[in-house]
Amino acid sequence: MTEGLEPFDLASLITAHDEGNFAEAVVPPIFQTSLFTFSSYDEMIASYRGEKVRPIYTRGLNPTVRMFEEMLAKLEGGEDALGFASGMAAISSAVLSFVEPGDRIVAVKHVYPDAFRLFGTVLKRMKVEVTYVDGRDEEAVAKALPGAKIFYMESPTSWVMEAHDVGALAALAKRHGVVSMIDNSWATPYFQQPLKLGVDLVIHSASKYLGGHSDVVAGVVAGSKEMIARLKAEAYPYLGGKLSPFDAWLLIRGLRTLPIRMKAHEAAAMTIAKRLQELDVVEQVCHPGLANRLPAGLNGTSGLFSFIFREGVDVRTFADRLRLFKLGVSWGGHESLIVPGEVVLQQKAQPNSAHTFGINPRSVRLHIGLEGTEALWRELEEAIAAAS
């Protein structure tokens, strides 16, 4: 549907890192090493004094990880980026870099459940309060912002797919001197570049579309040099949630095909969402691409959306009939996936487990993978027929 951004020139980003020692390998090497040695006392002391920037220990600087970070910074239109061991390490490090006891965070409602739980546990214990607002209601956001330290966004959200006017919200945060952050995992920099819309920090679960092959758990934060310096000062080295060299290498591989994967996810998911919307047994399809137009700054849609069955459809039968669609959380890889809303609502033994994240018990979340739209649709139709 919507035109995406220009394809990224990833090859030139990779070769920019070749200082003559990669033997012209088309794929960059993995620096799978914990430490880097010094040839002399003088070289070692010069590094420790900061007179020479070079890798010392991988938790600090690793060339493969750095390569991924620089690629991501460039893709998001930022000056710098930091790779983390998971999306949650990225979120917690970003948030903890800007708050002190007594501070307040404003967050859009229906954020990623574990982000919500981080806010309700660790941050609550640190006496940091989180106020939730509807990101679609700019007046409510403007009212909540004065005095806050962080404005935490996620757009679109990853179950009910609420899409916000990120540029307008970022401008509100700026006006009130509040640091703005956004979880951009759903759209990826291919469809949305929040830094260019005025957001201070962009966060990803790289486990999803950036990696794109369901074989890595990782995260990343991108922004200006100044903003990233805040993370580098304490959270990155001392919380220690560093991205590993091998995972960074997998992410570099994944990024090479990000544009074509996103276009394919978009096309297949749009087709299936529109067809579902036509069915009598479907009450509502939650997909930002079905609205008259996308919010400003969102230039396309990905493969993740949800829909709500009408009363009387047996979701268990529907789910168990599917074969190409696997029952499973996460998303962003080749595979099509389904998560029944009722399963998430029954997730016990979690802090604040009464919270529903806006999930309807008759809803189902789909990730539309790359298996082929018609094969996926045939299977959905058959499963719906069996369940109705």
- Residue 256's alpha-carbon distances to 176, 244, 331, in angstroms, are 38, 19, 18
Q: Which is nearer to ligand PLP, 14 or 223 (CB)?
A: 223
Q: Which residue is closest to ligand PLP by CB?
A: 87
112 catalytic per annotation? yes
Q: Specify the stretch interacting with ligand PLP by CB under 6 A; choose among 165-173, 205-213, 268-276, 370-378.
A: 205-213
In 201-347, alpha helices (H): 225-233, 245-256, 258-278, 315-321, 341-345
Q: How many residues sit in the footprint of ligand PLP (CB under 6 A)? A: 12
Q: How many residues does the chain have?
A: 388
CB of 112 to ligand PLP, least distance (A): 4
The residue within the footprint of ligand PLP, chosen from 83, 212, 219, 341 (CB under 6 A), is 219
59 catalytic per annotation? yes
Q: Please give the Cα distance from 63 to 282 (Å, whole number).
A: 50
Q: Specify the stretch interacting with ligand PLP by CB under 6 A; choose among 23-31, 141-149, 204-212, 248-256.
A: 204-212
* 189 lines the binding site for ligand PLP (CB under 6 A): no
Q: Specify the stretch interacting with ligand PLP by CB under 6 A; choose among 18-26, 69-77, 187-195, 200-208.
A: 200-208
The residue within the footprint of ligand PLP, chosen from 158, 180, 193, 363 (CB under 6 A), is 158
Q: Please give the Cα distance from 163 to 171 (Å, whole number).
A: 16
3-class state of residue 326 by DSSP: strand
Q: 122: closest CA among 235, 30, 9, 270? A: 235
Structure token pair of residue 290? 């079905």
208 catalytic per annotation? yes
Q: Please give the Cα distance from 353 to 284 (Å, whole number).
A: 25
* 155 lines the binding site for ligand PLP (CB under 6 A): no
b/e burial code for range 166-191 (CB count within 10 A of at least 16 → b): bbbbbebbbebebbbbbbbbbbbbbb
Q: 217: closest CA among 226, 206, 209? A: 206
* 86 lines the binding site for ligand PLP (CB under 6 A): yes
CB of 119 to ligand PLP, least distance (A): 13
* 112 lines the binding site for ligand PLP (CB under 6 A): yes
* 78 lines the binding site for ligand PLP (CB under 6 A): no
183 catalytic per annotation? yes
* 191 lines the binding site for ligand PLP (CB under 6 A): no
3-class state of residue 365 by DSSP: strand
- Residues classed as catalytic: 59, 112, 183, 208
**Residue ranges binding ligand PLP (CB under 6 A):** 86-88, 112, 158, 183, 185, 205, 207-208, 217, 219
